[in-house]
């Protein structure tokens, strides 16, 4: 029989992009961008997944997280699933045998269900336009953005953005893509002009086996 977990919930806390911007551990997130979020890194997670998880840090004073820790004796995985899955994705059942939430059902407030729906609508728009990272932190600046049609099917767009990351006096550049279900970093590289960026995109596509016969730039 499933156990009903019902810690004290503060429904006034709004889980949205402003929450991420306020609470994200930027140093941790940037490390993820350079390693775990690389296209060839093998991760199935995407930018927004890691951004949410990087909000789980000691500086985040979210009372819902604190209350949830008490319910699970400070098990970090349980807290991660509470924030990343329950509040954003509003998943109510977990059936992974090694997970601290195994065979348990989480009671999700109706207000969070509405928040989650609106959150992912906004995220989807920002991911396709390449604007998500700028929304998460002012440290990121989108320099170029190109949209292609053809690889994913008729009228389905895959987008490619060239970003600048500025931390103190250090400036780095990287190529970010939204291709199919994936929103990941292709590579960190030197600063590119538009012509060279197009070459990088074509190489990225061809390296994955796409011939580009039906490929054209939409934007």
| Domain boundary pick from 125, 159, 184 | 125
Say if residue 111 is in the same domain as residue 152: no
Above pLDDT 70, what percent of the chain?
A: 76
Q: What is the mean pLDDT of residues 66-93?
A: 65
Least confident of 76-80, 95-99, 212-216: 95-99
Least confident of 56-60, 93-97, 176-180: 93-97
Q: Please give the residue range of the domain that contains residue 50.
A: 3-125
Whether residue 134 is contained in a domain is answered as no
Q: What does the pLDDT read at residue 76?
A: 57
Q: What does the pLDDT read at residue 87?
A: 67
Q: What is the mean pLDDT of residues 83-97?
A: 59
Total domains, the chain: 2
Residue 146 in this model has a pLDDT that exceeds 70 = yes
Q: What does the pLDDT read at residue 107?
A: 67
Say if residue 82 is in the same domain as residue 115: yes
Say if residue 24 is in the same domain as residue 91: yes
pTM of the complete model: 0.84
Residue 216 in this model has a pLDDT that exceeds 50 = yes
User: Is the pLDDT higher at 93 or at 132?
Assistant: 132
Q: What is the mean pLDDT of residues 151-160?
A: 84
Whether residue 132 is contained in a domain is answered as no
Say if residue 111 is in the same domain as residue 166: no
pLDDT in tens, 61-72: 888 878 777 766
Say if residue 160 is in the same domain as residue 73: no
Q: What does the pLDDT read at residue 132?
A: 97
Q: What does the pLDDT read at residue 183?
A: 95
Least confident of 22-36, 89-103, 196-210: 89-103
Residue 182 in this model has a pLDDT that exceeds 50 = yes
Whether residue 102 is contained in a domain is answered as yes
Say if residue 187 is in the same domain as residue 113: no
What's the order of all strands across the beta sheet hosting 104-106? 3-5, 104-106, 93-94
Say if residue 117 is in the same domain as residue 35: yes
Say if residue 207 is in the same domain as residue 117: no
Q: What does the pLDDT read at residue 40?
A: 87
Task: Round to whole Å and give the CA distance between 146 and 157.
Answer: 10
Say if residue 52 is in the same domain as residue 8: yes
Say if residue 118 is in the same domain as residue 197: no
Task: Round to whole Å and give the CA distance between 128 and 143.
Answer: 15
Band of pLDDT at residue 28, cut at 50, 70 and 90: very high
Contact 157, 149 (CB under 8 A): yes
Burial 36-55 (b: 16+ CB within 10 A, else e): ebbbeeebebbbbbbbbbbb
Residue 118 in this model has a pLDDT that exceeds 90 = no
Q: What is the mean pLDDT of residues 193-210?
A: 92
Q: What is the mean pLDDT of residues 148-155?
A: 80
Task: Round to whole Å and give the CA distance between 164 and 183.
Answer: 17
Say if residue 106 is in the same domain as residue 149: no
Q: What does the pLDDT read at residue 23?
A: 93
Say if residue 28 is in the same domain as residue 117: yes
């Amino acid at each position: 029989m499933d156990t009903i977990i019902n810690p004290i919930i503060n429904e006034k806390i709004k889980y949205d992009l402003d929450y991420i911007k306020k609470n994200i551990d930027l140093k941790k997130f940037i490390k993820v961008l350079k390693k775990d979020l690389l296209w060839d890194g093998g991760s199935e997670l995407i930018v927004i997944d890691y951004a949410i998880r990087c909000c789980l840090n000691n500086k985040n004073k979210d009372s819902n997280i604190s209350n949830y820790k008490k319910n699970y004796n400070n098990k970090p995985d349980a807290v991660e699933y509470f924030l990343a899955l329950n509040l954003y994705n509003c998943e109510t059942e977990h059936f992974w045998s090694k997970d601290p939430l195994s065979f348990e059902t989480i009671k999700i407030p109706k207000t969070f269900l509405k928040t989650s729906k609106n959150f992912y609508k906004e995220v989807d728009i920002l991911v396709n336009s390449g604007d998500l990272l700028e929304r998460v932190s002012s440290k990121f600046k989108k320099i170029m953005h190109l949209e292609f049609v053809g690889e994913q099917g008729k009228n389905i767009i895959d987008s490619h953005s060239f970003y600048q990351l500025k931390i103190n006096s250090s400036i780095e550049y990287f190529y970010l893509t939204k291709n199919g279900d994936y929103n990941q970093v292709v590579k960190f590289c030197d600063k590119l002009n538009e012509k060279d960026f197009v070459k990088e995109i074509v190489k990225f596509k061809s390296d994955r086996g796409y011939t580009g016969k039906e490929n054209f730039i939409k934007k």
